[in-house]
Amino acid sequence: MKNETNTADIEGLIAENEALKNENQTLNSHYELLKSECAYLKFQLEELKRQVFGRKSERFVPANDNQLSLFEETLPEQEAEQHGQMERISYERKKATRRKHPGRTPIPAHFPVVETIVEPEEDTEGLVKIGEEISEHVEYTPPVLVCHRTIRPKYVKPIADQGSRILIAELPPRPIPKSIAGASLLAYLFVSKFVDHLPFYRLIKRFERENQWSLKQSTINSWFTDVSNLMKPLFEELRARTMDTDYLQADESTIKVLTKLPKDEKGKPKVPKKVKGSGQMLGYMWVVHNVTDGLVCFQYLNTRSGESAQEILESFTEGYLQVDGHDSYNKIAERENVHRLGCMAHARRKFFEAQGNDPQRATYALEFFHKVYELERAETTGMTPDERKVWREENLKPLYEQFKTWVDAQLYTPKSPIGGAFTYIKNQWDTLMTLFMDGRLLLDNNRIENKIRPLALGRKNYMFAGSHDAAQRIAMMYSFFATCKIHDISPFEWLTDTLNRIMVTKLSNLHELLPTADWQPLPKRE
């Protein structure tokens, strides 16, 4: 009887111990989860502080020769520990030398020159001039608004047996009929807003201050609408030519729109992304870059969905599409002859942001990206696409394969920043390897991100578009001016010339007005 009691007590203790063990494991698991979430929240806080107060550059420079190498199987610290020794590094510090001043900025030869001769105060009559000293400086003359008055004489022309008729010349065409705004004024307004990021109300204040001329903002808005309608056929031509390629880059960015949310047939809002506390909604600027021809097309849609991506890229059925890892492009990539190309910059950014979370492995990954960019920049400049393709197969592909082997061997928590970086690059690896299919392809999407930068700067100044239609008109102007920038064309000169010519240009000849390498302005009248 006593033995049976002892056995029961032992079994009870064992069961209690197992319960405590299971409870301990649960608590440990819960603790690790909370620890992981805490680390992630700390990372988000640090990232937010960096975005608000820190530098935005993601530049990474290897610290020294002892930094983790792509070609070492063990870390330098681990290897030193294995051998029981640490290497001491010494260096000589060179005394900083004072940099020679490069001299003042030269004055361009095309600046107008106003000469002023300053004679000595003493009488110089009868003296022999032996030379002169010339000094130059630059002055600023504020923009001058000029009233152009067109005078058309009227004549009476007798006609036999019919009396007479009035003879008068036709009024030369202007971008906006019966408007006081000429082509150059309109060009100045729109270049100031979409290239220099000055809202219309600031331009109005400038006119009042410098030219003593008051304009209403509603008047300028009306001019913008009229010009956009005039240039819509040219925009359609730009869009068609942008899509006519086998290598596209695409991206999207947000823009606030001051309007009521669109409704469906049941009267419910179609778009849930309304900016809290305002009548604004969040729309998207979709940007497509034809890398081969140097053409850029912005288009506005009110969502970032896959349906929107298919609408924008409807005519792209064959070639390479370089995009980030967003799911919106998945259906496009599933098309039979479309190859999705990943972006090294997006993959690299994940590891850059994870440096605070896991500096050792993040640094290892950044060293890989640094090596790839360094080799590509130093070795492939001036190569033909075929030569670049062969060079990449021989020199870059082994680096990629070695890095992928390292990534596959890593253990990580998916919710951590470093885990997010590993997950992203694993999911995108096949698209990153598309790079080796064609020597024309670029490592990253940075070119198109540079085209979006003016939109980001504009958002900080004029903050939102007034309506969905206004957002599309904004997209039109960004398309033209981004293409001007690629081809190093003055946006003011191009827009002035285009507004003067577009009314008399046939639809079949619209391509002559596009701001590409073939564009030539009409000779100026003397």
Q: Which tens digits make up the pLDDT trace of 196-205?
A: 888 888 999 9
Record the tokens describing residue 54, joined without a space. 């820190």
CA distance 372 to 366: 10
Q: What are phi and psi of 140, to 5 degrees?
A: -115, 130
Record the tokens describing residue 327, joined without a space. 């799911």
How much is the pLDDT for 391? 94
Q: Residue 66: which pLDDT band, with cuts at 50, 70 and 90?
A: very low
Least confident window among 32-46, 56-70, 357-371, 379-393: 56-70
On the question of pLDDT at 434 being above 90, the answer is yes
The HSE-up count of residue 497 (CA atoms within 13 Å, CB side) is: 17
How much is the pLDDT for 85? 52
CA distance 287 to 249: 8
Closest CA to 250 of 337, 315, 336: 315
Mean pLDDT of the chain: 82
CB within 8 Å of 33: residues ≥ 6 apart: none
How much is the pLDDT for 358? 85
How much is the pLDDT for 81? 46
Domains of the chain: which residue ranges? 181-342+445-526, 344-444
How much is the pLDDT for 62? 66
Q: Residue 322: which pLDDT band, with cuts at 50, 70 and 90?
A: very high
Least confident window among 45-54, 196-205, 232-241, 511-520: 45-54
DSSP 441: -
Closest CA to 32 of 404, 414, 300, 380: 414
Distances (CA, A) of 389 to 197, 234, 257, 386: 40, 36, 44, 5
On the question of pLDDT at 55 being above 80, the answer is no
CA distance 346 to 285: 19
On the question of pLDDT at 469 being above 70, the answer is yes
Cα separation of the two ends of the chain: 125
Q: What is the pLDDT of residues 208-243, one digit of tens each?
A: 998 888 889 899 999 999 999 999 999 999 999 999
How much is the pLDDT for 297? 93
Least confident window among 97-101, 142-146, 379-383: 97-101
How much is the pLDDT for 18? 73
How much is the pLDDT for 50? 61
Least confident window among 87-96, 144-153, 169-178, 293-302: 87-96
Q: 239 or 453: whose pLDDT is higher?
A: 239
Please name every residue paired with 297 in a beta bridge, in sequence order, or none if there are none: 288
How much is the pLDDT for 83? 46
CA distance 448 to 455: 12
Least confident window among 98-107, 118-127, 407-416: 98-107
- Cβ–Cβ under 8 Å, residues 403 and 361: no
On the question of pLDDT at 272 being above 50, the answer is no
CB within 8 Å of 54: residues ≥ 6 apart: none
CA distance 461 to 472: 18
Q: 473 or 271: whose pLDDT is higher?
A: 473
Closest CA to 300 of 310, 290, 319, 287: 287
On the question of pLDDT at 67 being above 50, the answer is no
CA distance 228 to 479: 12
Q: Residue 518: which pLDDT band, with cuts at 50, 70 and 90?
A: confident
CA distance 444 to 366: 15
Q: Residue 305: which pLDDT band, with cuts at 50, 70 and 90?
A: confident
Over residues 57-74, mean pLDDT: 53
On the question of pLDDT at 274 being above 80, the answer is no
Q: 281 or 91: whose pLDDT is higher?
A: 281
Q: What is the pLDDT of residues 157-168, one digit of tens each?
A: 888 777 788 888
Q: Residue 344: which pLDDT band, with cuts at 50, 70 and 90?
A: very high
